């Protein structure tokens, strides 16, 4: 993955390169979209008034946080008001205006240009939504430049196209240099840059690149579209969006090649020179007026107020004069290509050849033709013919729009820069119930128009994934809405007292009933024999045992014996295509530490049941090593509380991985008794902004690999519902077979798999939050664990509720309830305290799918496109020894891992060693992917690094080094870098100057 | 007609124009594209609407051509009002 917000765009300024967007910190947004929902119009007015009251009382609130609070919890249907505003004061003013309008029953809709949107009868979902792509003429200098720092999918696409444009040799500089200019250009320089952008080759490629970048943004926003269409060259993008053509590197290469040929035709004068006139009148009037003007041909029937005609330059003069006399606005367009006229027919060969090289499939989404104004055929050859013919046939945009409307389309989204098609559509469908909106306008900033788009579509009830707007902005929820309790203040005291009396009376009846039920239930439980003859697998050898007082155990922790550890690996699973057993760093699950404590306490105090634990603190994680490590457990009965056993677990490590055993890794107290405690009465689990969970167990485990657990731990059965306060799902108790090699059927006191799986549901809630950064959570403390009965039978379906009790920048506090089929609580963990880790998103993505994502970022310091230079700044959270080791397990080959494992050095040296190799592997992977289109796992590449910083890379699957690029790597504290090139020797030096890293690359 | 009268006319047309409302103050500095969110086709429509309002043809093609030649293509309404004032009150 190319990180986007650090991608420095090259721009044109007096022939020198200048970085316009150099910062890795995205600037703030000048406005926000706020979408407010009510169950109906009256409820919407009430909520709008509450929000206005809140804003009046809290004018300093952060707009981003308020927008996130409203939008992330947006439920479907209802009544919606959407507002774009740049401050609390502006939002308050617009809300006040909207409330006044909504209070008037005659008001059926609000569509205020400032950004206030409300529709009594929303167009979605009863009307279809069309995605439309504009063609040449939509490009403008710096288009989308202000979106780059905010949306990785946009900047990544530009970066990708830059690389391809250089690699394919079609351009002598990155295509983005033709689009982005410095703001300090003089008018003359700007004119030159604009003319360059309007040259045929640049025009076609820049417009298609830009609209595909916007398409990727809309895809992240989850925009649902029913049909697609394209205007002129925009038909290429429509073919991609409909699924007819694969939007891969090959297509982009072909696009650049075609652009170059078309430009060549224009430059060598082989294209007939014509003039294009945009006439502000309908086709009929224009034909009538210019009919006698020899050679005037309609090239584009855009809308009733714009027809583009082509004619010879001489004829254009007289046509313009004629139009002027009639007072008709006419503009001569700044290009002179005769396409969309029969004059272009002799030049169709390169376009036909390009389509011939592309694999065409039937459209997955209905695709409309701007040649016929009708849907495309589904036969690939017929699609190809019609797409080629479009270039020599008039653009029939009015027909396309009218057909789409007749086919039920009511919402049109223009996916491209400038917004021309939106104006055409508004003109064509004037007075009809429909809506056209552009993703981007040349006269508005990119973010402002995006907010208007989001607001308008949300008000029209188009479902959008609005969290995407906040994913990299660290939003916070704001508690803006008055609670019911506050509202009750307006009730009279006597009314309140009466309500309370009724409530208490009802509760008394309920508790009586519950008491009877519980007594019967407990009687049944007491019949369970507390004494077992178990095979407890985690106890190990008894070092010292004073019955009833103290017990010391030693347990060798061995990945060959503790098979569960192999399915519980930090850094995720599947690190290699060659070795399916290579996963992340195995470490002891907290639930297995609890089981070990329970087993030890039961041995020390036989005859008592483990009914809970207190203050269990994980002071250090316990990672496994390739060789066994030693744990020592000490259990002491607390003299002042004989039913409580204090436990300490120390990690002695091994010779290779020593550990500080002076302080225990885990401490806690096991609570024992003769009976399980009485479970509290069952209670509801109301959730604010309740919604379904998008992340299913399949997506979490196997599909998108969000969790690092293997099959032995996959006990999450369903993710049912979630809201602001937490999440509810179901777990299924799994068999214990296969957890221990020497004990195929262990007898576990707790159910560590079930307890561990409750944390998977917890992770699911965090993964569903918009601010994905800081959502890597790992446990460090359990305030209490309470068991209300013996562990459930294998195969039982258990309801699990995770409530979020408190959240801060570094910690999250939860309550976890495990509830049996009879709706009684089996186990409660509260508080379950977790650390939050701020792994950069590329690391989170990488740990999920190691072959797909890079950790290092493009560092375009070398003008030669055949050299890939990447930079990797080790993030502090990933430099912690356990995390660093996990990273090494999934990025190094077995041989490299064996070296790293035995390496001696300072923390800095270990970090540099590892991260510089990761950077080098990423440079090799990036170059390989670019040349061959294949994704490689870093662990499948082995580096032979020489003292001068050059290295030979070998792919372990192929074994050969000949095909691999050569690579050089370097590290200074805080920064690692690497450069790779095929068939050339590469050298790299890295230094820090004025606090900033600088690299120089030599390539021969 | 004074420029103020024309400005009031233009503002009343744009207050609810082509399916879009605008409820902030509209004055000479209000931008046709940037503030009102309108497009070039809307400029043509506005021309037609004003011609109807004033009951005469106005040379909007000249005004629009000039607009197209400028690097900064947005249109402060004051310029439109000046143009209208010039042609509604010929010397």
Could you tell me if A327 lies within 8 Å of chain B, comparing CB atoms?
yes
- C-beta atoms of B39 and A422 within 8 A: yes
- C-beta atoms of A114 and B47 within 8 A: no
Task: State chain A's mean pLDDT as an integer.
Answer: 87
On chain B, the residues whose CB falls within 8 A of the CB of A330 are 61, 65
- C-beta atoms of B37 and A324 within 8 A: no
Long-range pairs, A846-850, Cβ under 8 A, ≥24: A846/A1, A847/A571, A847/A572, A847/A584, A847/A708, A847/A890, A848/A572, A848/A704, A848/A705, A848/A706, A849/A704, A849/A705, A850/A572, A850/A574, A850/A575, A850/A890, A850/A891, A850/A937, A850/A938, A850/A939
In angstroms, rounded to a whole number, what is the distance separating the alpha carbons of residues A275 and A314? Answer: 9
Burial status of residue A984 (CB atoms within 10 A of its CB: 0-12, 13-18, 19 or more): middle
* Ranges assigned E (strand) in A808-914: 811-819, 825-837, 857-858, 868-872
List the single residue in A with minimal CA-CA distance to B65.
Answer: A331
Closest-CA residue to A854 (of A777, A799, A908, A935): A935
On chain A, the residues whose CB falls within 8 A of the CB of B25 are none
Q: Write down the pLDDT at residue A607.
A: 86
Q: Kindly report the nearest CA distance between residue B49 and chain A, in angstroms.
A: 13
Q: Write down the pLDDT at residue A526.
A: 42
Handedness of CA A881, A884, A888, A890 (dihedral sign): positive
Q: Kindly report the nearest CA distance between residue A234 and chain B, in angstroms.
A: 20
- C-beta atoms of B21 and A426 within 8 A: no
Long-range pairs, A188-191, Cβ under 8 A, ≥24: A189/A13, A189/A14, A190/A141, A190/B71, A191/B71
Q: Mutating which of A31, A327, A397 best tests the B interface, going by the most B Cβ atoms within 10 A?
A: A327
Q: Using CB atoms, pick whichever of B23, B47, B68 lies closest to residue A112.
A: B23
Domains of chain B, by residue range, sit at: 3-21+34-88
Q: Write down the pLDDT at residue A634.
A: 96
Task: Tell me: do A136 and A260 sit in the same domain.
Answer: yes
Pair A459, B77: CB distance under 8 Å = no
Q: Write down the pLDDT at residue A570.
A: 93
- Per-residue confidence band for A487, with pLDDT thresholds at 50, 70 and 90: very low
Q: Write down the pLDDT at residue A6.
A: 29
- Does residue A20 lie within any of the structural domains? no
- Does residue A704 lie within any of the structural domains? yes
Helix, strand, coil percent values for chain A (each to nearest 5): 35, 25, 40
* Ranges assigned E (strand) in A456-608: 541-546, 550-557, 569-570, 585-586
Task: Tell me: do A262 and A405 sit in the same domain.
Answer: yes
Q: Write down the pLDDT at residue A505.
A: 45
Mean pLDDT of A352-377: 94
What size, in residues, is chain B? 91
The pairing of strands A950-955 and A109-112 is unpaired
- Does residue A319 lie within any of the structural domains? yes
Q: Write down the pLDDT at residue A195.
A: 84
Pair A570, A708: CB distance under 8 Å = yes
Mean pLDDT of A345-361: 91
Pair A870, A919: CB distance under 8 Å = yes
Q: Kindly report the nearest CA distance between residue B37 and chain A, in angstroms.
A: 6
Q: What is residue A41's three-state secondary structure?
A: helix
pLDDT in tens, A451-483: 999 999 999 999 998 988 988 787 888 889 876
pLDDT in tens, A169-223: 666 677 888 888 877 788 888 888 888 888 877 888 899 999 999 999 998 888 9
- C-beta atoms of A111 and B20 within 8 A: yes
Q: Kindly report the nearest CA distance between residue A569 and chain B, in angstroms.
A: 54
On chain A, the residues whose CB falls within 8 A of the CB of B56 are none
Q: Kindly report the nearest CA distance between residue A130 and chain B, in angstroms.
A: 20
- Does residue A511 lie within any of the structural domains? no
- Does residue A923 lie within any of the structural domains? yes
Closest-CA residue to A833 (of A885, A780, A873, A793): A780
Q: Mutating which of A94, A280, A286 best tests the B interface, going by the most B Cβ atoms within 10 A?
A: A280
- C-beta atoms of B41 and A426 within 8 A: yes
Q: Using CB atoms, pick whichever of A113, A305, A306 lies closest to residue B22.
A: A113
Could you tell me if B18 lies within 8 Å of chain A, comparing CB atoms?
yes
Task: Tell me: do A867 and A949 sit in the same domain.
Answer: yes
How far CA A217 is from CA of A179, A220, A462, A468, in Å, comes to 19, 5, 16, 9
Domain span holding position A734: 697-840
Task: Tell me: do A344 and A378 sit in the same domain.
Answer: yes
- Does residue A689 lie within any of the structural domains? no
Q: Write down the pLDDT at residue B67.
A: 65
- The pLDDT > 90 percentage for chain A reads 57
CA atoms within 13 A on the CB side of B85: 15
Q: Kindly report the nearest CA distance between residue A443 and chain B, in angstroms.
A: 5
Could you tell me if A280 lies within 8 Å of chain B, comparing CB atoms?
yes
Pair A31, A85: CB distance under 8 Å = yes
Q: Write down the pLDDT at residue A352.
A: 93
Q: Write down the pLDDT at residue B68.
A: 56
pLDDT in tens, A892-904: 999 999 999 988 8
In angstroms, rounded to a whole number, what is the distance separating the alpha carbons of residues A666 and A970? Answer: 39
Q: How many CB pairs under 8 A join A and B?
A: 81
Q: Write down the pLDDT at residue A292.
A: 61
List the single residue in A with minimal CA-CA distance to B58.
Answer: A327
On chain B, the residues whose CB falls within 8 A of the CB of A442 are 73
Of A49-53, A485-489, A696-700, A999-1003, the least confident: A485-489
Mean pLDDT of A419-448: 93
DSSP of A713-781 = G--EEEEEEEETTEEEEEEEPPP-TTSBSS-SS---SS-HHHHHHHHHHHHHHHHTSS--TT-EEEEEE
Which B residues in the span 24-63 are in contact with A, Cβ-Cβ below 8 Å?
A: 24, 31, 33-42, 44-45, 47, 57-61
- C-beta atoms of B64 and A280 within 8 A: yes
Q: What is residue A588's three-state secondary structure?
A: coil
For residue A759, the domain's CATH number is: 3.10.129.120
Within 8 A by CB and 6+ apart from A975, the residues are: A871, A872, A873, A990, A992, A997
Mean pLDDT of A857-877: 89
Task: Tell me: do A40 and A118 sit in the same domain.
Answer: yes
On chain A, the residues whose CB falls within 8 A of the CB of B19 are 111, 426, 430
Q: Write down the pLDDT at residue A440.
A: 95
On chain A, the residues whose CB falls within 8 A of the CB of B21 are 110-113, 116
Q: Write down the pLDDT at residue A588.
A: 96
- C-beta atoms of A327 and B24 within 8 A: no
Whether the predicted pLDDT of A502 surpasses 70: no
Could you tell me if B69 lies within 8 Å of chain A, comparing CB atoms?
no
- C-beta atoms of A327 and B61 within 8 A: yes
Pair A779, A721: CB distance under 8 Å = no
Whether the predicted pLDDT of A4 surpasses 70: no
pLDDT in tens, A801-837: 999 999 888 889 999 999 998 899 999 999 999 988 8
Q: Write down the pLDDT at residue A517.
A: 44
Q: How far apart are the first and last CA of chain B?
A: 12
List the single residue in B with minimal CA-CA distance to A329.
Answer: B61
What size, in residues, is chain A? 1004
DSSP of A646-664 = EEEEEEEE-SSSB---SS-
* Structural tokens at position A260: 């170059």
Whether the predicted pLDDT of A865 surpasses 90: no
On chain B, the residues whose CB falls within 8 A of the CB of A427 are 41, 45
Report chain A's C-alpha Rg in angstroms. 33
Domain count, chain A: 6
Pair A316, A323: CB distance under 8 Å = no
Q: Using CB atoms, pick whichever of A97, A328, A422 lies closest to residue B23.
A: A97
- Does residue A497 lie within any of the structural domains? no
On chain B, the residues whose CB falls within 8 A of the CB of A432 are none
For residue A178, the domain's CATH number is: 3.40.366.10
Q: What is residue A873's three-state secondary structure?
A: coil
Task: Tell me: do A235 and A383 sit in the same domain.
Answer: yes
Does the reported pTM lie above 0.80? no
Within 8 A by CB and 6+ apart from A727, the residues are: A693, A719, A721, A761, A762, A764, A765, A768, A801, A802
Which A residues in the span 412-441 are in contact with B, Cβ-Cβ below 8 Å?
A: 419-420, 422-424, 426-427, 430, 441
On chain A, the residues whose CB falls within 8 A of the CB of B57 are 327
Q: Which residues of chain B have pLDDT under 50?
A: 71
* Ranges assigned E (strand) in A174-274: 227-230
Task: Tell me: do A192 and A277 sit in the same domain.
Answer: no
pLDDT in tens, A978-1004: 999 998 899 999 999 888 899 999 988
Of A37-51, A648-662, B60-74, the least confident: B60-74
pLDDT in tens, A114-165: 999 999 999 998 999 999 999 988 888 889 988 988 888 898 888 888 888 8
Task: Tell me: do A669 and A621 sit in the same domain.
Answer: yes
- C-beta atoms of A305 and B22 within 8 A: no
Q: Using CB atoms, pick whichever of B44, B58, B59 lies closest to residue A280.
A: B44
Could you tell me if B65 lies within 8 Å of chain A, comparing CB atoms?
yes
- C-beta atoms of B39 and A423 within 8 A: yes
On chain A, the residues whose CB falls within 8 A of the CB of B41 are 280, 303, 305-306, 423-424, 426-427
- C-beta atoms of A327 and B60 within 8 A: yes
How far CA A792 is from CA of A222, A496, A505, A709, A796, in Å, comes to 41, 44, 35, 22, 6
Task: Tell me: do A301 and A347 sit in the same domain.
Answer: no
Q: Write down the pLDDT at residue A961.
A: 59
Predicted ipTM?
0.88
In angstroms, rounded to a whole number, what is the distance separating the alpha carbons of residues A202 and A179? Answer: 9
On chain A, the residues whose CB falls within 8 A of the CB of B54 are none
* A31-49 as b/e: b if 16+ CB within 10 A: bbbbbbbbeebeebbebbe
DSSP of A354-367 = HHHHS-----SS-E
List the single residue in B with minimal CA-CA distance to A452.
Answer: B37
Task: Tell me: do A889 and A961 sit in the same domain.
Answer: yes
pLDDT in tens, A213-240: 999 999 888 899 999 999 999 999 999 9
Task: Tell me: do A315 and A234 sit in the same domain.
Answer: no
List the single residue in A with minimal CA-CA distance to B67.
Answer: A331
Q: Write down the pLDDT at residue A520.
A: 47
Of A266-275, A414-423, A693-702, B17-26, the least confident: A266-275
Q: Using CB atoms, pick whichever of B37, B44, B71 lies closest to residue A329.
A: B44
Mean pLDDT of A663-682: 94
pLDDT in tens, A933-991: 889 999 999 999 999 999 999 998 875 556 899 999 999 999 999 999 998 899 999 99
């Amino acid at each position: 993955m190319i990180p986007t917000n650090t991608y420095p765009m090259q721009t044109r300024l007096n022939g020198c390169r200048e970085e316009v967007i150099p910062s890795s910190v995205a600037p703030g947004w000048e406005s926000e979209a706020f979408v407010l929902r009510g169950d109906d119009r009256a409820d919407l007015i009430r909520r709008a008034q509450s929000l206005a009251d809140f804003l009046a009382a809290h004018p300093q609130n952060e707009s981003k946080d308020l927008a996130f609070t409203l939008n992330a919890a947006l439920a479907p249907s209802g009544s919606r008001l959407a507002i774009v505003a740049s401050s609390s004061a502006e939002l308050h003013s617009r809300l006040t205006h909207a409330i006044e309008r909504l209070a008037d029953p005659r008001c059926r809709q609000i569509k205020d240009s400032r950004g206030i949107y409300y529709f009594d009868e929303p167009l979605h979902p009863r009307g279809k939504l069309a995605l439309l792509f504009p063609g040449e003429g939509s490009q403008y200098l710096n288009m989308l430049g202000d979106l780059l720092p905010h949306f990785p999918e946009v900047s990544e696409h530009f970066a990708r196209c830059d690389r391809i444009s250089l690699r394919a040799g079609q351009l002598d500089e990155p295509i983005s240099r033709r689009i982005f200019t410095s703001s300090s250009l003089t008018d003359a320089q700007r004119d030159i840059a604009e003319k360059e952008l309007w040259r045929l080759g640049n025009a076609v490629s820049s417009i298609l690149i830009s609209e595909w970048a916007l398409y990727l943004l809309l895809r992240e926003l989850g925009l649902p579209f029913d049909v697609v269409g394209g205007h002129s060259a925009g038909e290429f993008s429509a073919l991609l969006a409909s699924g007819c053509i694969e939007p891969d590197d090959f297509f982009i290469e072909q696009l650049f090649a075609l652009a170059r040929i078309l430009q060549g035709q224009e430059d060598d004068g082989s294209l007939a020179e014509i003039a294009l006139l945009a006439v502000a009148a309908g086709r009929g009037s224009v034909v009538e007026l210019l009919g006698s003007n020899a050679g005037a041909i309609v090239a584009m029937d855009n809308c009733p107020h714009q027809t583009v005609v082509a004619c010879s330059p001489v004829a254009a003069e007289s046509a313009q004069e004629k139009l002027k006399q009639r007072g008709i606005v006419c503009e001569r367009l700044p290009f002179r290509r005769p396409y969309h006229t029969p004059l272009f027919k002799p030049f169709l060969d390169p376009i036909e050849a390009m389509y011939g090289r592309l694999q065409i499939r039937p459209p997955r989404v209905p695709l409309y033709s701007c040649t016929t104004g009708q849907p495309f055929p589904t036969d690939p050859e017929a699609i190809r013919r019609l797409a080629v013919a479009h270039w020599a046939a008039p653009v029939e945009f009015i027909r396309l729009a009218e057909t789409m409307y007749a086919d039920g389309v009511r919402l049109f989204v223009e996916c491209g820069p400038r917004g021309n098609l939106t104006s055409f559509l508004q003109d064509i469908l004037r007075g009809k119930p429909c809506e056209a909106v552009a993703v981007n306008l040349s006269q508005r900033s990119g973010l402002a128009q995006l907010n208007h788009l989001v607001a308008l579509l949300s008000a029209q009830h188009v479902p959008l994934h609005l969290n995407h707007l906040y994913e990299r902005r660290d939003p916070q929820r704001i508690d803006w809405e008055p609670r019911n309790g506050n509202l009750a203040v307006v009730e009279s005291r006597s009314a309140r007292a009466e309500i309370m009396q009724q409530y208490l009376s009802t509760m008394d009846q309920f508790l009586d009933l519950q008491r009877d039920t519980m007594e019967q239930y407990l009687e049944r439980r007491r019949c369970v024999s507390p004494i077992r003859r178990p095979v407890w697998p985690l106890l190990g050898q008894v070092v010292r045992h004073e019955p009833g007082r103290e017990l010391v155990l030693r347990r060798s922790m061995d990945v060959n014996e503790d098979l569960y550890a192999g399915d519980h690996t930090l850094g995720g699973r599947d690190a290699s295509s060659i070795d399916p057993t290579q996963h992340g760093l195995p470490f002891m699950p907290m639930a297995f530490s609890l089981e070990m404590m329970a087993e030890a306490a039961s041995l020390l105090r036989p005859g008592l049941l483990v009914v809970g634990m207190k203050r269990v603190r994980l002071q250090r994680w316990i990672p496994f090593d390739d060789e066994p490590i030693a744990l020592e457990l000490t259990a002491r009965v607390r003299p002042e509380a004989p039913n409580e056993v204090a436990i300490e677990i120390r990690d002695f490590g091994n010779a290779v991985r020593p550990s500080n055993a002076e302080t225990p890794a885990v401490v806690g107290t096991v609570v024992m008794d003769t009976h399980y405690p009485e479970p509290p009465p069952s209670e509801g689990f109301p959730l604010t902004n309740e919604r379904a969970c998008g992340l299913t167990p399949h997506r979490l485990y196997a599909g998108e690999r969000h969790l690092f657990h293997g099959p032995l731990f996959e006990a999450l059965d369903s993710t049912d519902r979630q809201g602001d306060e937490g999440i509810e799902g179901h777990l299924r108790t799994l068999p214990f077979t296969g957890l221990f090699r020497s004990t195929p059927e262990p007898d576990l006191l707790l159910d560590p798999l079930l307890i561990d799986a409750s944390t998977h549901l917890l992770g699911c809630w965090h993964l569903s939050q918009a601010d994905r950064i800081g959502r890597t959570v790992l446990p460090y403390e359990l305030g209490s664990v309470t068991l209300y009965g013996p562990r459930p039978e294998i195969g039982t379906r258990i309801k699990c509720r995770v409530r979020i009790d408190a959240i801060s920048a570094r910690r999250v506090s939860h309550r976890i309830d495990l509830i049996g089929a009879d709706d009684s609580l089996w186990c409660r963990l509260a508080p379950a305290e977790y650390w939050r880790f701020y792994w950069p998103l590329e690391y989170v993505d990488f740990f999920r799918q190691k072959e797909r994502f890079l950790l290092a970022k493009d560092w375009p310091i070398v003008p030669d496109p055949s050299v890939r230079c990447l930079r990797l700044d080790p993030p502090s959270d990933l430099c912690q020894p356990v995390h660093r080791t996990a990273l090494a397990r999934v990025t190094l080959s077995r041989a490299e891992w064996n070296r790293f494992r035995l390496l001696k050095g300072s923390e800095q040296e270990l970090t540099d060693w590892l991260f510089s190799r990761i950077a080098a592997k990423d440079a090799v992977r990036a170059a390989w992917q670019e040349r061959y289109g294949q994704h490689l796992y870093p662990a499948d590449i082995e580096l032979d690094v020489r003292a001068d910083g050059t290295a030979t890379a070998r792919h372990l699957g192929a074994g050969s080094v000949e095909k691999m690029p050569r690579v050089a790597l370097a590290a200074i504290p805080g920064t690692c870098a690497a450069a790779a090139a095929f068939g050339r020797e590469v050298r790299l030096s890295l230094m820090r100057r004025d606090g900033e890293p600088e690299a120089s690359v030599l390539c021969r | 007609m004074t420029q103020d009268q024309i400005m009031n006319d233009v503002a009343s047309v744009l207050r609810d124009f082509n399916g879009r409302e605008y409820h902030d103050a509209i004055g000479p500095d209000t931008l046709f594209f940037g503030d009102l969110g309108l497009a070039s086709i809307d400029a043509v429509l506005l021309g037609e609407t004003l011609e109807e309002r004033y009951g005469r043809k106005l040379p909007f093609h000249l005004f629009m051509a000039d607009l197209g030649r400028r690097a900064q293509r947005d249109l402060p309404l004051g310029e439109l009002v000046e143009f209208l004032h010039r042609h509604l009150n010929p010397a």
